[in-house]
Structure 1
Amino acid sequence: MPPDYSGQNLRGRSFKGQNLTGANFSKADIRGANFTNAILKDADFTSAKAGLQRPWTIGLLIASWLLLGLLGFLSTILGMLVVFILDYNNTQNFIIAIVSLILLLFFCIITIRKGLTAGALAVAVAVAVALPAAIALARTGAGVFAGSEAVNTAGAFAGSYGQDIAIAFAVAIAFAVAVAFAIAFAGAVAGTLARAFAVAFAFAVAFYFAVPGAIVIAVPKARVFAAAGAFTFATAFTLFNAYIGWRSIAGDDKDTWLRSFAITFAATGGTSFRSADLTDLDFTGAILRNTDFRNANLTRTRFYEAKKLDLARVDNTILINLAVLNLLISCNGRKKSYLGANLKGANLIGADLKEANLKNANITEASFQGACLEWANLTLAEAIGTNFTSAQMTGACVEAWNIESSTQLDNVDCRFVYLLEHPKAESDDSERRPSSGEFKPGEFTREHLSF
């Protein structure tokens, strides 16, 4: 008889490599439990609570906050730029500071529109082009304001300060990534109610270390004006970085690498199903934050209404595609496109896929029992071993779909289908089957191989 762990506290328990076929873990607390390489076929994890244990959560959050504190000194670059701007007697510093702030603004704009990677690359290119121009301008300006002696100074400046500014930009970008990561990480680790606090505290730590760092470098040079400018720039830059981090963990596709990195780090010590066999397992309503599903067998695994699955590690599974992940959770793909998607073994029992585009999708071994596939596009779909039992398929296009005897079409509700995605040239003929009238009950099932 399969073991019954329903409702039990199994935090930190190890089930590594065990055969737990048909086991009942419904409503169990499995935070920090290890199911690596376990066999969990037909197991019940409905409403189970997976993820990190509280000590791990607190420890990882503190680690991220310490990282922010250690990197807070990087904000001194902002104070340096403010000092340069207010140093009117040094034309070289003034011009370089103005150009640097323009480049920093350019970095922020590109990052918001295209992501951190694009922003960093854009700045690298801009620095390579703009910095020599700024140095040349500084030489010219120095010559105008200070005569031939300044030209010689500019030569030394080109070799020294030019490198300093380039390094400063690298440091500023490193600080941006650090703050964005810490914010994203806090969002990935904390629970729904605690997330706002964790993110706010992460921002507070970044702000606490960043702003004083900028002011400290500025005050000895120009007093009040420099301090005010440093405060403004440091605050704005920290807010910008926090926004990027929050955006990434919310699922924005501009910085998927940042989100993936935060989730990877956050899953350390969480519930592990790595390389486990989860065939026909039921996670309905389960909380799956900070859970490791890498290389797991998810054939017909049920994720309906699972919570925080988007914050789990899902490398080398069909869940790596966020659209597929959301479909498995909601079972609602009406009028949506899954063109070429990997849905191998997906559990879509009862799903609403009316008018969905599944062209060229891999739905091998997937289950569409009782699903609505009316007017869906199944052109070139790989449907070997797929279960369509009791599905509704009226109006579906099945052009060149790949099926065989293992494809289950029992009790399919289908009045007619189309064999062509697009009508023949100069006609409206999409090869409707039957060409007139409707299939009689069971007729589609009997004749589907001829399609």
Structure 2
Amino acid sequence: MALDFSGQNLQGRNFKGRQDLAGANFSYADIRGANFTNANLRGANFSHAKAGLKHHWAIFLVLVSWLLSVVSGCVWAINGLYVSQIFDLSSKESQIEGWIALITLIAVLIGTISKEERYVLVAVAFVAFAIGTRFAGFGGGLGALAVTAAGMIPGDFALVFAVARAGTFAGTFAGVGVFAVTGALAEVKIGVLALMAPEAIPFIEARAENFAVAGAVALLTMYTRWRAMKEDEKDSLVRIRNTAITYAQIGGTSFRGADLTNANFAYATLKSTDFRDTTLICTHWQEAKMLDYVSPGKTYLDNSQVRQLLVTGQGQDKNFNRENLRGINLQKANLADASFIGADLSEANLQDADFSRAKLKQTQLDATDLTGATLTGAYIEDWGITNTTKLHGVRCEYVFMRLPTKQNPDPLRKPDNKKEVFADGDFADFIQPIFDTLDLYHNQGVDPRAIAIAFKKLVENHPEAELEIVAIEKRGEDKILLQAKTAAGSDKSQLSAEYFDDYNQLKALSQSQQLLLIEKDNYIRDLQNMITTALQESKYNIQGNINNMSDISGINIQNSSNVSGIAGGGSVANLGTISGNVSIALNQLPDSPEPDKPGIKELLSQLQDAITQSSHLPEADKAEALEQVKTLAEAGQNPQESTKQKTAKTAITMLKGIFAGLPTVATLYEAANKLLPAIAKLFNLG
């Protein structure tokens, strides 16, 4: 029987490592300061629970924030004293020290604030210089400029820590203290400046203007750090926020390393809570409070946009491309027009979610529950569904097999007739791929009669394998892929080896000897005719009229559209899975530190897109090329290691060989000639 802690005061309780908490009820409980490290909390109910810090810890950390504010202000006051030495005309050494301090300060500002903040700072500095010049001439203007620069950052870190720790009210209170310290220190600097630069005294006398400038700088500082707390992507000081959040959860509720599969945090208050290294499969977050103030580690909670989606269930028209969302719970979420290109949604709960017109290109959906989801108008190019993907009750009138373009806004609509839609239940039957197949690829001197005889012999020798042909596909010139569905647990390696042993022996026989083997055998003749037809057609798919084959026991030719990885097109479905695996590998690489200069991740992403979109490359070659891109992505995690460089060199050589036969006008040919040398250079391969 599950334990019941609902409504109890569990502040500071230690549940570390306990394995008997699966399904436990912690609803409405006070779990501030509780320790659930490495506990088994599968299916536990934390709805309306209150997590975070106990009161004495909160007070202590706010006091620490104030201490940091004072220390920070004092440090920057000393910096201001050094800057003011610029006006010490009696000592060149002092002036040099002052200029060095000012230049260092400006360099720090440029390196730690965003482009937008630099514009504001320049504007404030210009106003300060103008006021100083108005009252004290050029020297006073320089003095005001120095004071503005020296007063820019005091209290930044302390303010962020205070807001992270104490929330809105106490954070604002701490911010007022920072403002006061900033203003007071600016006045001290101005006084010192007056002593060292007498010509600036008229400017100093205009104290109201000086304090206004210092106040404007302090307010700008507070606004900047507030933006950092909101994770504005344009603010380079977001890293300070992350440090502050980690600091703020010391002594708070800890779920570190816990198993929170199917746990429920609906309406819970989660400030100062540690979720690092936790298992968050299908965890429920509806209307959770202060989720922005948790320590997420490397879980999907690290993304602010994902956190907002989890809390509100509203992700319409949002971009989640290439995000790792494995195990996320988006049940009943509104995801219409959202983009999940290359994202990993494996093991996710997407029941009754609305994916209308969503972009699901190369999205990984292994073991994902799409029961009752809406997929009308979705773009499912190369998506990675598997035999464990749940599609029961999916609502879908039509889908598109490619992403839209300006020239073709409705690419490869299914059903093809725009006046038709899928009936209830038809979509799942249409889209369900066949994954458990034996793939028999013939690439040299294909002999249809030998194929037919060898396959019949394999069927007769292994009735337990329940072999059924599901696809015959032409691959380039004189190449054939024969796919057969097998029973679960069949040893495909053994079946393939036995088949090709017989096939190669049969190929060596004369035509007369082969004919003796198939005399009066309609089974073999019909299969031979189908393979011969496949070789003669530029594009061949079985269109499933089993009545055309006479007495073919054990072989069932099923309906197969074989379009872009959908029903019956097992090879193409595998291509989608491979491409999705490439996307996952690319997500492990860091972004380029220079936005205008692509790194390994960006170059390989461009190459991946060029390969998947190529109309000149056979799909078998596409699969091989994508495997090489995946190899490069894995090597790119340590591009300076000699072993990784050798691996990358081999992969690039393989890619060049695959692309060698492309026409020079092909988009992929042009992209490869541009991207491969750039990739090689990043691996120091010359």
For residues 409 and 110 of structure 2, what CA distance do their matches in structure 1 show?
49
Distance 1:45 1:384, change over 3 A: same
Q: CA deviation at 1:231?
A: 6.1
Higher mean Cα deviation, 217-226 or 178-187? 217-226
Higher mean Cα deviation, 244-253 or 42-51? 244-253
Asked if 1:214 corresponds to 2:195, the answer is: no
Matching residue's letter, 1:214: K
Give the corresponding residue for 1:443: 426
Matching residue's letter, 2:175: V
Give the corresponding residue for 2:271: 289
Q: CA deviation at 1:103?
A: 7.6
Counting matched residue pairs gives: 396
For residues 416 and 173 of structure 2, what CA distance do their matches in structure 1 show?
63
What TM-score do you get using the length of structure 1 for normalisation? 0.78
Distance 1:181 1:337, change over 3 A: same
Asked if 1:316 corresponds to 2:292, the answer is: no
Asked if 1:25 corresponds to 2:26, the answer is: yes
Q: CA deviation at 1:390?
A: 0.6
Asked if 1:252 corresponds to 2:235, the answer is: no
Give the corresponding residue for 2:370: 388
Give the corresponding residue for 1:430: 411
Gaps of 5+ in 1: 120-167
Matching residue's letter, 1:434: P
- Partner-residue secondary structure (3-state), 2:254: coil
Give the corresponding residue for 1:131: none
Tell whether the 8 Å contact from 2:400 to 2:412 is kept in structure 1 after alignment: yes
Matching residue's letter, 1:444: F
- Partner-residue secondary structure (3-state), 1:257: helix
* Aligned pair partner of 2:342 in 325, 339, 360: 360
Tell whether the 8 Å contact from 2:163 to 2:171 is kept in structure 1 after alignment: yes
Q: CA deviation at 1:102?
A: 7.9
Give the corresponding residue for 1:277: 259
Asked if 1:377 corresponds to 2:359, the answer is: yes
Deviation digits for residues 33-91 of structure 1 (CA, Å, limit 9, x no counterpart): 11100111111111111111111111011112112222332213324434533x45668
Give the corresponding residue for 2:55: 54
Deviation digits for residues 110-153 of structure 1 (CA, Å, limit 9, x no counterpart): 7543499x99xxxxxxxxxxxxxxxxxxxxxxxxxxxxxxxxxx
For residues 282 and 373 of structure 1, what CA distance do their matches in structure 2 show?
24
Give the corresponding residue for 1:2: 2
Tell whether the 8 Å contact from 1:31 to 1:50 is kept in structure 2 after alignment: yes
Q: CA deviation at 1:421?
A: 1.4
Give the corresponding residue for 2:69: 68
Asked if 1:407 corresponds to 2:389, the answer is: yes
Gaps of 5+ in 2: 120-145, 434-565, 567-686
* Aligned pair partner of 1:243 in 216, 223, 244: 223
For residues 213 and 90 of structure 2, what CA distance do their matches in structure 1 show?
22
Matching residue's letter, 1:418: F
For residues 337 and 407 of structure 2, what CA distance do their matches in structure 1 show?
25
Matching residue's letter, 1:274: R
* Aligned pair partner of 1:84 in 62, 83, 86: 86
Tell whether the 8 Å contact from 1:78 to 1:230 is kept in structure 2 after alignment: no
Tell whether the 8 Å contact from 2:326 to 2:345 is kept in structure 1 after alignment: yes
Give the corresponding residue for 1:130: none
- Partner-residue secondary structure (3-state), 1:190: helix
Q: CA deviation at 1:23?
A: 0.9
Q: CA deviation at 1:392?
A: 0.9
More relative contact order, 1 or 2 (CA 8 Å, 6+ apart): 1
Q: CA deviation at 1:236?
A: 5.3
Matching residue's letter, 1:397: Y
- Partner-residue secondary structure (3-state), 2:159: helix
CA RMSD of superposed structures (Å): 3.3
Deviation digits for residues 344-374 of structure 1 (CA, Å, limit 9, x no counterpart): 1110000000011111110000111111111
Tell whether the 8 Å contact from 1:76 to 1:213 is kept in structure 2 after alignment: no
Q: CA deviation at 1:237?
A: 4.9
For residues 220 and 103 of structure 1, what CA distance do their matches in structure 2 show?
23
Give the corresponding residue for 1:332: 314
Distance 1:105 1:39, change over 3 A: same
Identity %: 39
Tell whether the 8 Å contact from 2:394 to 2:428 is kept in structure 1 after alignment: yes
Give the corresponding residue for 2:16: 16
* Aligned pair partner of 2:283 in 301, 308, 327: 301
Deviation digits for residues 283-335 of structure 1 (CA, Å, limit 9, x no counterpart): 11111111100010010111111111111100121111222222112211111
Q: CA deviation at 1:187?
A: 0.9
For residues 326 and 23 of structure 1, what CA distance do their matches in structure 2 show?
27
Larger-Rg structure: 2
Tell whether the 8 Å contact from 1:342 to 1:363 is kept in structure 2 after alignment: yes
